[in-house]
Chain A
Amino acid sequence: MSRRNALVLAAVSTTAALAFLAVLLLWPSGAPRVASLGSLSVPASSSPFVATTANTGSPDPVPAATSADPVPTVAPATTAPPSLPVGLSIARIGVHASVVPVGVQTGTNVVQIPDLDHVGWYEYGARPGETGSAALVGHVDGAGRPGVFWRLRDLVPGDEVVVHFADATSRAFRVTGRAEVSKQALPADLFTRAGPPRLSLITCGGSFDRATGHYLDNVVVVAVPES
């Protein structure tokens, strides 16, 4: 190789090395944060109750009840509980999974998560469709491969989520919001039996902490029963 060629090669390779190094160093670390689409609260959340006076702020809350037919349009929290959830389908992100009841790791507030391919239903909360929040949890990944909620972060308001029940019925829900929140600050509202019926779909996201082997955030998608 001539000296001139070697010089050219050195210059080119130095430039290329610097360019590639810049790409490596400047590449955004971690997955982009999920933008919050609206809030996690469901439309009726201004009142966590289903009583008929929940709309006292509106100009015309309840049509004047006639004695003939005073039956309100919403039921109180005493409706019979739905059957247990056994399956979950989310067509937009290709989820067709079995649902199993989960509790907590003994003596902790850490929710048990089933294997990569199953969705867990938090059995100490509401059942899907019942008053309150029905929490459904699933892995985003683990053991080097994606989990059942790998693409949960791709859901947008309006997407359909279908829950299948043990009695062979099913019920459709519509996504109303999505957010990424610090794992340390997961809203307690996701685990209460109070408030309007809603699904809270929860997985992991955000930056990955190699020291602990866990993600720093949770991705939460809220869906409400289709009317």
Chain B
Amino acid sequence: MFKRLLALVSLVGVGLFGAVALSAAPALAASNGTVYVVHGIPGVTVDVYVNGTKTLPNFTPTTVAGPLSLPAATYDIKVFAAGANPASATPVITASVALPAGANASLVAHLDASGKPVLDTFVNDVSAAAAGKGRLIVRHTAAAPAVDILANGSAAFTNVTNGKEGKVDLAAGTISASVVATGTTTPALIGPANVTVTAGMATVVYAIGAPAAGATASTLGVVTQQIPLAGATMVVPTGTGGLLEHSGAPVWAAAGFAVALAMLVLSGRALVRSRG
């Protein structure tokens, strides 16, 4: 599975590079954006085409590809059912994604509130968190109306609608999270599930899928990804001795000065005496 993900990442990398190299000179890496691709549509394995090139073949639900470092540009993205002929088949999703320079973003294929497949771009807040804290980001990408997200039983985010997110910085640790219809506490539509908050990382939890409808079972679930945050500015007080100040200090010069002064005093007294 892991090796397969590597292969996917590799392929999308090569493909996107090929697509970009044809159209524009590669931008400096420093201004590149960072991109993750998240598959949040249950039950549908897809091929992702970027600027007409198949870059993520057989991309399976609930997986995350990336991070990819990509030049700022607008990318034409089409998602087809795996194996479909892009020349004749109708894409599941068609989207145009503008990636700004230096942006950190997650492209998420998911269902909108009415159950229609869409591709949304979420900008990831990777600014530094306080020391010892991590960031929990919860994204509503399921075919469901507004929800509340409960953390350890109490509402952490309320009235979150499809395509929106809530975020909070928390001390590192594990919380029990569940998703409920807004204004309620039960029943849990998703979870409760343990979510680990890691210091210095954003933990992004996507609610995906659709509730049960008629004979169709519920496909609600979560996808989780972790993204490193920027470092905080820290203070490192690692010396109180002041010994560096003295290393090689001219102790001999101080001693010599003292001796010379003493001699000067002696000679002065001798002079005074000789006069008298």
Which parts of B218-276 form the interface with A (CB within 8 Å)?
Answer: 226, 228-245, 247, 249-250, 253-254, 256-257, 259-264, 266-268, 270-271, 273-275
The answer to whether the Cβ of A77 comes within 8 Å of any Cβ in the partner chain is yes
The segment from A91-99, A132-140, A157-165 found at the interface with B is A132-140
Query: Is A147 within 8 A of B238, CB to CB?
Result: yes
Q: Would you call B238 and A149 a contact (CB within 8 A)? A: yes
Chain B CB within 8 A of A190 CB = yes
B contact residues vs A (CB 8 Å cutoff): 2-3, 5-7, 9-11, 13-14, 16-17, 20-21, 26-30, 32, 34, 66-71, 126, 128, 130-132, 172, 199-201, 226, 228-245, 247, 249-250, 253-254, 256-257, 259-264, 266-268, 270-271, 273-275
What is the bound-complex CA distance between A158 and B237, given in angstroms?
27
- What separation, in Å, do the CA atoms of A99 and B199 have in the docked complex? 20
Q: Mark A1-14, 1 if CB is under 8 A from B, else 0.
A: 11101110110111
CA A147 to CA B27, docked complex, whole Å: 46
Task: Provide the residues of chain A in CB contact with B132, threshold 8 Å.
Answer: 103-104, 124
Known: A132-B200, A143-B241, A194-B228. 5 other contacts (CB 8 A): A47-B69, A72-B7, A140-B241, A141-B243, A204-B238
Q: Name the distance in Å between B25's Cβ and chain A's nearest Cβ.
A: 10
Whether the Cβ atoms of A65 and B14 lie closer than 8 Å is yes
* Interface hub of B239, B249, B274 (most chain A Cβ within 10 A): B239
Q: A46-B30, A132-B228, A192-B228 are in contact. Are A138 and B238 (CB under 8 A)?
A: yes
Q: A13-B263, A54-B69, A208-B242 are in contact. Are A27 and B9 (CB under 8 A)?
A: no
Q: A31 contacts B231, CB within 8 Å?
A: no
Q: Are A51 and B68 in contact (CB under 8 A)?
A: yes
Render A173-203 as a binary contact track against B, CB cut-off 8 A, 1 for contact.
0000000000100111111111100000011
Residue A225 at the chain B interface, CB threshold 8 Å: no
Complex Cα gap A19–B119 (Å): 79
Could you list which residues of chain A lie within 8 angstroms of chain B, going by C-beta atoms? 1-3, 5-7, 9-10, 12-14, 16-17, 19-21, 23-24, 27, 29-31, 46-57, 61-62, 64-65, 70-72, 75-78, 103-104, 108-111, 113, 122-126, 131-133, 137-147, 149-150, 183, 186-195, 202-208, 210, 213-215, 218
A-B contact count (CB 8 A): 283
Kindly state the separation between the CA atoms of A139 and B239 in the bound complex, as whole angstroms: 5
Is there an interface contact between B239 and A204, defined as CB atoms closer than 8 Å? yes
Contact B263 A56 (CB under 8 A): no
Do the beta carbons of B29 and A57 come within 8 Å of each other?
yes
Q: Tell me which residues across on chain B come within 8 A of A186, comparing CB atoms.
A: 233-236
Nearest CB of A to B164, in Å = 26
- CA of A210 to CA of B240 in the docked complex: distance in angstroms? 9
A-B residue pairs in contact (CB < 8 Å), sample of 7: A2-B274, A20-B260, A51-B69, A62-B10, A76-B9, A140-B239, A150-B243
Measured in the bound complex, the distance between the Cα atoms of B67 and A111 in whole Å is: 30
The smallest C-beta distance from B137 to any residue of chain A, in angstroms, reads 16
Given known pairs A53-B70, A56-B17, the reply for A6 and B9 (CB within 8 Å) is no
Min Cβ gap A88→B in Å is 14
Residue of A14, A149, A194 touching B230 (CB-CB under 8 A): A194
Q: Does B264 contact A143, Cβ atoms closer than 8 Å? A: no
Question: Which residue from chain A places its CB closest to the CB of B253 in the assembled complex?
Answer: A23
The 7 closest A-B pairs by CB, nearest first: A141-B241, A204-B239, A192-B231, A13-B263, A20-B257, A52-B13, A191-B231
Are B238 and A76 in contact (CB-based, < 8 A)? no
B238 and A193 contacting across the interface, CB-CB below 8 Å: no
Q: Which residues of B contact A20 (CB under 8 A)?
A: 253-254, 256-257, 260
Give complex CA distance A195, B232 in Å: 14
